[in-house]
Amino acid sequence: MNQQYPSILLEKAVGEFSKLPGIGRKTAMRLVLHLLRQDTATVEAFGNSIITLKREVKYCKVCHNISDTETCQICANPQRDVST
């Protein structure tokens, strides 16, 4: 069903949120409306955290787990038994 929104910006935001796994258009609308009710600083912090996540998260070069560094804390631990 093609629903019309009162704002093209609202429609775009709902469209982007609904691309996330498990998020349909109704849930996307709820999330967007929630963000609109928040103060600007809160929404900017949310947006910046997602941008930072995408730019800075790495995959461990040893085990390919998500990490903030080239080698994750588990693989970098000198006390770790690497034989297991």
Residue 22 belongs to a domain with what CATH number?
Answer: 1.10.8.420
Does the residue 84 lie in any domain? no
Q: Give residue-wise pLDDT tens across range 19-59.
A: 999 999 999 999 999 999 999 999 999 999 999 999 999 99
Q: Is residue 17 part of a domain?
A: yes
pLDDT for residue 1: 45
CA distance 31 to 46: 12
Question: What pLDDT sits at residue 57?
Answer: 97
Residue 2 lies in a domain: no
Name the token pair of 23. 């998020």
Range of the domain at 41: 8-56
For residue 2, the model assigns a pLDDT of 56
84 three-class SS: coil
Look up the pTM and report it.
0.77
In a domain, 64, yes or no: no
